[in-house]
């Protein structure tokens, strides 16, 4: 089962806020119910739901799926992982140890981030991020 989408570091689920909105609670009532939230959190939650509906919800008659669509929330944005994987088949998959070894080897050979990304079937940003994490690329290491 997927982890619920939470708002910032509050631990409050997006669905809890949407439930409050659906019950007709005012902004102040929602803030009173969830004191860790700020008004911007409620507005961002509503915007996230709106974006999702506009991008992915259609009338029943128009739905025709040939494959599973994987959607994730990332920094307040909805990401259609299935669409990204059309170009980068390994996008958003965990890195395997042998794949990390290949990454390091290709980097040592002087291959560009774009060429490494192409070889590993990953997004260039993911390759750059992984190289930074391993201290092999300029910029701040993550995590």
Q: What is the pLDDT of residue 143?
A: 45
Q: Kindly state the DSSP code that residue 74 receives in the 8-state scheme.
A: E
Please, are residues 62 and 52 in contact by the beta-carbon 8 Å criterion?
no
pTM of this structure:
0.52
Label residues 60-98 b or e (16+ Cβ within 10 Å = b): eeeeeeeeeeeeebeeeebeebeeebeebebbeeeeeee
Please, are residues 78 and 51 in contact by the beta-carbon 8 Å criterion?
yes
78-133, pLDDT tens digit by residue? 777 878 888 999 998 899 999 999 999 999 999 999 999 999 999 999 999 999 99
Given a cut of 70, whether residue 74 has pLDDT beyond it is no
Q: Kindly state the DSSP code that residue 24 receives in the 8-state scheme.
A: T
């Amino acid at each position: 089962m997927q982890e619920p989408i939470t708002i910032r570091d509050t631990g409050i689920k997006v669905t809890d806020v949407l439930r409050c909105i659906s019950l007709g609670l005012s902004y102040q009532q929602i803030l009173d119910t969830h004191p860790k939230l700020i008004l911007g959190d409620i507005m961002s939650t509503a915007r996230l739901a709106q974006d999702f509906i506009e991008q992915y919800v259609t009338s029943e008659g128009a739905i025709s799926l040939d494959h599973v669509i994987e959607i994730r929330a990332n920094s307040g944005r909805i990401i259609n992982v299935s669409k990204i994987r059309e170009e980068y088949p390994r996008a958003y998959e965990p890195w395997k140890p042998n794949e990390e070894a290949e990454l390091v080897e290709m980097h040592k050979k002087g291959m560009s981030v774009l060429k490494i990304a192409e070889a590993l079937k990953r997004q260039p940003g993911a390759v750059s991020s992984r190289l930074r994490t391993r201290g092999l690329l300029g910029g701040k290491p993550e995590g």
